[in-house]
Amino acid sequence: MPTILITTDHLTPGDEVDDYLTGLGFTTRHDPMRGRRTAGQLVTALDGVTGALVANEPMTAEVLGQASQLRAVVRTGVGCDSVDVAAASRLGITVSTLPGINANAVAEYTIGLLLVQARDLIGMATGVAAGSWPRRDGFELRGKTLGVIGRGAVAQRVGPLAEAFGLNVPEGLALDDLLGVSDFVSIHTALTDRTRHLIDAAALARMKPTAHLINTARGGIVDENALADAVRTGRIAGAALDVAETEPLPSGSVLRGVDGITVFSHMAGQTAEARRAAGIEGARELVAALAGHPAHAVGGPL
């Protein structure tokens, strides 16, 4: 029977997704991704596999070229920057994502990060844990301006939630103008060659010195060296990042030890509701792709 590789770490043998796939006659192979995995390890995991339901593995041209039986890959998320789509297309492998699958979860999380920054919640809790009793003034979201970078499903959900808190969410501004008027800048766009290091030293210099940067999209959109320097020197007030260029965050990352920068562990989309939806919809998309009619393909046979 065709074998399906499942690497998304919250999907397990005997769960709803597994039952769905095995009920259709597929053999499943669970090899959850936790931390980094080498190309060789991924090639080994893909041996004999027809379809793959994957997390954020680097599905490079080298890896895909050695997966001789692979015909479809589905990311249980919204981005495909970890997959070499062009190489997959040349090899006849369809690549799909699940657009909007965790949009509500990420939008709610984004509002949480705004509150974290506005009230220095991490700093306050850390101070209490260390034995002190910090009582510093924060500031309210009401009346502030949130600049949203991106127009996708998450960006569309963030706007109304932010407005419910009394934030102003301008639309239609050029990036330079948006950076200049915003008290918070929140990133909700895909990582592409055009957006890599979109937020660089020049972009950060256009922001208010009191502004905070929020990133729940992809780490590579922000130049981490420039951000660390900008926060350390007071060019901007701080940043809350759910993503980093290298994950897990290396011990020597420039983001570590910078007062005002808080890094979380890429969990914006990780709610019980979003995970369940991503698992079952990903499995359905994979079955459809193997049958030749994927609904959300971003690449396919040339």
CA–CA separation, 117 and 210 (whole Å): 11
Residue position matching structure tokens 């890599």: 196
pLDDT at 130: 97
Name the active-site residue from 71, 266, 275, 296: 266
Q: Which residues contact 158 (CB under 8 A, 6 or more apart)?
A: 107, 110, 111, 146, 148, 169, 186, 188
Residue position matching structure tokens 């940067």: 213
Q: What are phi and psi of 213, to 5 degrees?
A: -100, 135
pLDDT at 134: 96
Name the active-site residue from 75, 188, 218, 235: 218
pLDDT at 301: 41
- The secondary structure of 55-93 as a DSSP string is SS--B-HHHHHT-TT--EEEESSS--TTB-HHHHHHTT-
Q: Do the Cβ atoms of 207 and 182 come closer than 8 Å? A: yes
Q: Is 266 a catalytic residue?
A: yes
Beta-carbon-side half-sphere exposure of residue 94 (alpha carbons within 13 Å):
20
pLDDT at 77: 87
CA–CA separation, 148 and 150 (whole Å): 6
pLDDT at 80: 86
Beta bridge partners of 187: 149, 215
Amino acid identity for residue 87 in this structure: A
Q: Is 171 a catalytic residue?
A: no
Name the active-site residue from 247, 276, 281, 284: 247
CA–CA separation, 46 and 33 (whole Å): 13
pLDDT at 299: 57
pLDDT at 81: 87
Q: Digits of tens for pLDDT over the chain (302 positions)? A: 799 999 999 999 999 999 999 999 999 999 998 877 899 999 999 999 999 999 888 999 999 999 999 999 999 988 888 899 999 999 999 999 999 999 999 999 999 999 999 999 999 999 999 999 999 999 999 999 999 999 999 999 999 999 999 999 999 999 999 999 999 999 999 999 999 999 999 999 999 999 999 999 999 999 999 999 999 999 999 999 999 999 999 999 999 999 999 999 999 999 999 999 999 999 999 999 999 999 999 954 43
pTM of the model: 0.90
